[in-house]
Amino acid sequence: MPASPENGAQMAPRVLVAINDAELAILRLVAMHLRDGRGQPDWRQARLAEGQMLRARIARMITYLAGAVASEVNSIVLDAYNRGQALAMADLDLFLVPVLIADDAVDTSAVIAQSTVDTIVQAMKLIPDMVIATLREAVAAGRDSNVAGDVAALQRSQKILERLASRGFAGFSYGPECDWSLEEYAEMAVSAGAGRAAVQGHVDALAASGMDLVLVSVSPEACQICCPFERQVLSISGRVGRVLEPNGDEVSASVTDVKASLAGAIAKGLFHAGCRHELSAYLPGVTRTDVVLSTQRRPRPEQREHDVERKVRQWKRREAVALDALTRRRAAEEVRMWRMESHRAHNELTRPEGKWRPRSPG
Ligand SMILES: [Zn+2]
């Protein structure tokens, strides 16, 4: 079967649990810091004075939490690579080509995983400064908090923290865009890495089994970048132009026009982020180039479930930054409601006739 970056990208949301845990741990610490000593005459000075200590503590937490993110990313990328290999095996089996597995599979996947982890960890290093900037704002807003029971000051601080919590840490640059939240940023980075791994796993298995030519599908969502490569034959080893290749009948051979090397096409943008094009093994005399419609389609059916889970994470962050019991209980109730909604979305999705229907109002 053909493989697409989408085969790996689908696994990217798995990283969100580790990212959310990291965000929650840091946000809880910030809220704790602001609650500390509330009502004391020197509250404001004490909060600001301890800012640098808090910064160092957050930096240490990030080092620890980055380990959890790295282990999840490693697992996702390896799964994506294996998925690509499995799809290639189905492809080869169809052609009755004996399957050989690439023996450096783990190395290849580890290299891709490492560069993905580096991208995310690099972004996470910006968090301590973000947190301290917000902390200063929240301390300034709650400056009258030395008056015990000053509800208005508490609410002003709370508002500042909720701004941070509602999107999570934000303002990360990825490509030309520069205002991604940490979870969006991490999901994008993992989508790209896992997508690359799925295609690489597929290609490595084909190459290890002696197949060199691959065919790019037609996608219903073709973009300018990929259009020149649709229905085109590419070469894994880099043979370009008119290439003589044995036919599927194993006795004859035919000349195939190879548009580009696979690496060259990828360098020109093929399989960009969000690409739905697929790659399949090309066997001269057997593979038809006129019927190669990609099976990858948007929107993903999981989108609704994904959106609801985003809400769960958002309210968990708001719960983490609650400065008083009432705010915390309200946020916890929202978490509970959105979790139920998430189960509902999941059940609708997995039901045999499964189509998501919105709840009727009331
Ligand atoms: Zn594309």
What confidence score (pLDDT) does residue 97 get? 76
* CA 100 to centroid of ligand 1, rounded, Å: 28
Tokens encoding 240 = 């370009």
CA torsion sign for 323, 327, 331, 336 is: positive
User: Nearest-5° angle of CA 240, CA 216, CA 222?
Assistant: 125
Half-sphere exposure of 307 (CA within 13 A, CB side): 7
pLDDT computed for residue 182 by the predictor = 92
Say how many Å lie between the CA of residue 280 and the centre of ligand 1. 15
Ligand 1 mean position to 151 CA, how many Å? 54
Give the pLDDT of residue 216. 92
Q: How far is the CA of 91 from the centre of ligand 1 (A)?
A: 21
pLDDT recorded at residue 361: 46
- Cα(174) to centroid(ligand 1), Å: 19
Tokens of 218: 């037609």
CA of 297 to the centre of ligand 1 (A): 12
- Each of the 362 residues of the chain gets a pLDDT tens digit; together they read 888 898 999 899 999 999 999 999 999 999 999 888 887 888 888 888 888 899 999 999 999 889 999 999 999 999 999 999 999 988 888 777 777 776 776 788 899 999 999 999 999 999 999 999 999 999 888 776 555 567 788 888 899 999 989 888 888 887 777 789 999 999 999 999 999 999 999 999 999 988 899 999 888 776 788 889 999 999 999 998 898 877 766 678 888 899 999 999 999 989 887 788 899 998 887 777 766 566 655 555 567 888 899 999 999 999 999 999 999 999 999 999 999 988 887 777 666 554 545 555 43
User: In whole angstroms, what is the distance from residue 344 CA to residue 158 CA?
Assistant: 31
How many Å lie between the centroid of ligand 1 and the Cα of residue 184? 20
Q: How far is the CA of 7 from the centre of ligand 1 (A)?
A: 14
For residue 266, how far is its CA from the centre of ligand 1 (angstroms)?
10
Q: How far is the CA of 286 from the centre of ligand 1 (A)?
A: 25
Which residues are within 8 A (CB) of 223 and not within 5 positions of it... i.e. 6 or more apart?
Answer: 272, 275
Euclidean distance between CA atoms 201 and 208, whole angstroms: 10
Helix (H) or strand (E) holding 243: strand 241-246
Query: What's the 112 CA to ligand 1 centre distance in angstroms?
Result: 20
| 235 CA → ligand 1 middle, Å | 18
CA of 223 to the centre of ligand 1 (A): 6
Domains in the chain: boundaries: 1-210, 212-297, 299-362
226 CA → ligand 1 middle, Å = 5
Quote the CA–CA distance of 320 and 26 in Å, as a whole number: 9
Of 6, 1, 19, 4, whose CA–CA distance to 309 is shortest?
A: 19
Q: What is the DSSP code (8-state) at residue 333?
A: H
C-alpha 233/C-alpha 257 separation (Å) is 7
